[in-house]
């Protein structure tokens, strides 16, 4: 049972989950063929790297094959016609001391693209909790290696099959798409992967047969012949640390972590070369290009671009001014930092929050900061930029038409970590002491924020090297901190809920104002999983700003 501090406010979702977003596909006959390895092939296409129906194995045996690199907690069972036909592989990591794995190395060398298909069935819908998952992933090719796609490994992406109703496509730390599924029915997954950095890949949409284009270095997932969540047919970018280069991938399989219990049946695992045409991608407009491959933007729709640093490490912020704005207004302002694990992301991710602030009469500001993908930097640089951006806003208050004493900051995930460092006076390692805040923010608003990066309990301390504790906000708080409000999901398995509780308790114990709103469902991206929570977050922002005298924006 999870223990929550008595001061934590729990908000209960109105209503219950309705019918699943993913419905079972109609049953269609399969056409048999023959693969080079003697296994039957049930669909035409390119070179077949793997086609596994598990029918050639004995019940209760381990489904070993030449391509299989590692298998743990997986046995062959009688599928009972529940998924596919005949036998199936049961992925069952019921022993909490062990994690399950079924990983194949496919192809005779690294692959630049692939098509994957498999059938799956939740074998125990009532098992586990909101964290219980089997993760289908694709990673770097490499024969002779054992476990590659475990929870701590770097995947190009991971399709998370949650024991309780959800499918999520995760790239790095971020959920790129998600949907609910019917836990009582089998579902079919089709995935196209394009590992070429500059070429698109054409494929036939499973729903209409229309030929469409998958973007460079991207993946697209179809479940029961419907796009997963809000993905477009053009897919979403994969993890650039993994996929940089045109032929990298080849490790494919299912895995889980050691702290979760998951039970799924897997059948008809099929991997082949896509048959679609590959050709150079067309040049895209600036904002559209950022959605395909991260670039440093020089503009955002509806915002004014201002440079908070020029010359070396030049960096912009994007200012959303409300209707009727005048330099003499002395309005309040809200500076919001995007998330992305200090690795990915651009101000496009925080633009909607800054624009929302402008609609409420404030000056909304979405700063850019250096990330690993775009600048090959560490979190140290992200923190330094965030402090510099906030300092610039305070120094240029007259130009921005704002009251420097009424500037709030906020951020999501790693953006919350950056935001916290705008409220702490001592300069952390990697930051210029000149960026230390001359004036603290009027308030801090956090969502799924990283507030502990220490080696003991923090999030990805390895990214910080010897400075993990020195860059951990909860360990470096000033005696007097601005009033703080934060949202955090109780089942956030990326940035643990316990770190939010620890920050809340420490601030409260030192006489600082802090409110923690516990989200009782969902994970790190709870507002995407449950859109009603986006409304709750915005309502709480407005409440905080009214309480701290930031609304109305003009006094």
Whether 554 maps to a domain, the answer reads no
Nearest one of 518, 513, 510, 395 to 444, comparing CA atoms = 513
Whether 91 maps to a domain, the answer reads yes
Tens digits of residue pLDDT in 100-155: 889 999 988 899 999 999 999 999 887 655 567 899 999 998 877 766 786 555 78
Q: What integer best gives the mean pLDDT of the chain? A: 86
Boundary residue ending a domain (220, 253, 280) = 280
Grade residue 226 by pLDDT with cuts at 50, 70 and 90.
very high
1-9 LR contacts (CB < 8 Å, sep 24+): 2/490, 2/497, 4/490, 4/501, 4/518, 5/501, 5/504, 5/505, 5/516, 7/504, 7/508, 7/516, 8/501, 8/504, 8/516, 8/517, 8/518, 9/515, 9/516, 9/517, 9/518
Whether 555 maps to a domain, the answer reads no
- Looking at the fold, whether 222 and 84 belong to one and the same domain comes out as yes
Alpha-helical regions (H) of 447-510? 497-509
- Looking at the fold, whether 391 and 263 belong to one and the same domain comes out as no
- Looking at the fold, whether 405 and 521 belong to one and the same domain comes out as yes
pLDDT greater than 90 at residue 463: no
Whether 232 maps to a domain, the answer reads yes
Q: What is the CATH number of the domain that holds 130?
A: 2.60.120.560
- Provide the domain limits for residue 529: 297-547
Can you tell me the mean pLDDT for 76-98? Answer: 86
Boundary residue ending a domain (249, 280, 311) = 280
d(CA 522, CA 17): 12
E strand or H helix that includes residue 543: helix 532-547
- Looking at the fold, whether 344 and 466 belong to one and the same domain comes out as yes
Can you tell me the mean pLDDT for 361-368? Answer: 98
- Looking at the fold, whether 365 and 266 belong to one and the same domain comes out as no
pTM attached to this predicted model: 0.57
Give the CB-side neighbour count of residue 46, counting CA atoms within 13 A.
16
- Looking at the fold, whether 417 and 450 belong to one and the same domain comes out as yes
Can you tell me the mean pLDDT for 368-390? Answer: 96
Tens digits of residue pLDDT in 325-354: 999 999 999 999 999 999 999 999 999 999
- Looking at the fold, whether 433 and 405 belong to one and the same domain comes out as yes
pLDDT greater than 50 at residue 9: no
Count up the domains in the chain and report the number. 2
Whether 257 maps to a domain, the answer reads yes
Grade residue 505 by pLDDT with cuts at 50, 70 and 90.
very high
What DSSP string describes 409-442? Answer: EEEETHHHHHHHTTS--SPPTTS-GGGS-SS--S
pLDDT of residue 259: 57
Q: Cβ distance 116 to 253 under 8 Å? A: no
d(CA 382, CA 231): 29
Q: How many CB atoms lie within 10 A of CB 426?
A: 12
Whether 425 maps to a domain, the answer reads yes
- Looking at the fold, whether 274 and 328 belong to one and the same domain comes out as no
Secondary structure of residue 178 in the 3-state scheme: strand
- Looking at the fold, whether 72 and 152 belong to one and the same domain comes out as yes
Q: What is the CATH number of the domain that holds 303?
A: 3.40.50.1820
- Looking at the fold, whether 535 and 422 belong to one and the same domain comes out as yes
């Amino acid at each position: 049972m999870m223990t929550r501090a008595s001061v934590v406010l729990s908000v209960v979702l109105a209503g219950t989950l309705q019918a699943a977003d993913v419905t079972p596909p109609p049953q269609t006959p399969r056409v048999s063929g023959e693969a080079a390895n003697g296994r039957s092939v049930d669909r035409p296409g390119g070179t077949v790297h793997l086609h596994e129906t598990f029918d050639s194995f004995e019940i209760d045996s381990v489904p070993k094959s030449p391509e299989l690199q590692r298998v743990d907690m997986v046995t062959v069972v009688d599928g009972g016609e529940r998924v596919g036909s005949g036998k199936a592989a049961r992925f069952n990591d019921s022993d909490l001391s062990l994690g399950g794995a079924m990983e194949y190395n496919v192809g005779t060398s690294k692959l630049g693209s692939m098509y994957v298909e498999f059938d799956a069935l939740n074998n125990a819908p009532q098992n586990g909790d909101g964290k219980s998952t089997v993760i289908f992933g694709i990673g770097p090719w490499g024969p002779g290696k054992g476990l590659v796609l475990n929870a701590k490994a770097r995947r190009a992406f991971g399709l998370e099959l949650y024991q309780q109703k959800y499918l999520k496509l995760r790239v790095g730390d971020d959920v790129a798409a998600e949907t609910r599924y019917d836990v009582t029915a089998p579902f079919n997954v089709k995935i196209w992967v394009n590992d070429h950095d500059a070429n698109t890949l054409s494929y036939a949409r499973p729903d209409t047969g229309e030929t469409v284009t998958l973007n460079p270095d991207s993946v697209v997932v179809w479940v029961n012949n419907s796009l997963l969540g809000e993905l477009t047919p053009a897919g979403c970018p994969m993890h650039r640390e993994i996929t940089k280069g045109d032929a990298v991938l080849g490790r494919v399989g299912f895995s889980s972590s050691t702290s979760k219990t998951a039970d799924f049946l897997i059948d008809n695992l099929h991997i082949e070369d896509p048959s679609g045409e590959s050709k150079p991608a067309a040049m895209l407009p600036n904002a559209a290009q950022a959605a395909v491959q991260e670039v440093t933007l020089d503009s955002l729709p509806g915002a004014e671009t201002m440079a908070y640093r020029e010359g070396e490490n030049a960096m912009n912020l994007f200012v959303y001014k409300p209707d009727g704005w005048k330099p003499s207004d002395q309005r309040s302002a809200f500076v919001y930092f995007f998330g992305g694990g200090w690795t990915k992301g651009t101000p496009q991710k925080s633009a909607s929050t800054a624009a929302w602030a402008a609609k409420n009469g404030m000056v909304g500001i979405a700063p850019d900061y250096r990330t690993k993908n775009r600048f090959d930097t560490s979190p140290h640089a992200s923190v330094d930029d965030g402090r510099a951006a906030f300092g610039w806003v305070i120094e240029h208050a007259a130009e921005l038409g704002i009251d420097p004493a009424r500037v709030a900051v906020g951020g999501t995930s790693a953006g919350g970590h950056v935001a916290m460092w705008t409220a702490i006076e001592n300069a952390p390692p990697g930051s210029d002491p000149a960026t230390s805040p001359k004036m603290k923010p009027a308030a801090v608003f956090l969502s799924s924020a990283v507030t502990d990066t220490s080696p003991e309990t923090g999030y990805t301390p390895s990214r910080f090297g010897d400075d993990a504790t020195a860059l951990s906000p909860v360990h470096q708080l000033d005696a007097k901190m601005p009033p703080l409000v934060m949202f955090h999901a109780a089942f956030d398995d990326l940035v643990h809920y316990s770190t939010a509780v620890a920050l809340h308790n420490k601030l409260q114990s030192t006489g600082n104002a802090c409110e923690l709103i516990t989200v009782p469902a969902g994970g790190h991206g709870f507002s995407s999983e449950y859109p009603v929570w986006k409304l709750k977050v915005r309502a709480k922002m407005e409440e905080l700003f009214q309480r701290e005298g930031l609304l109305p924006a003009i006094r």
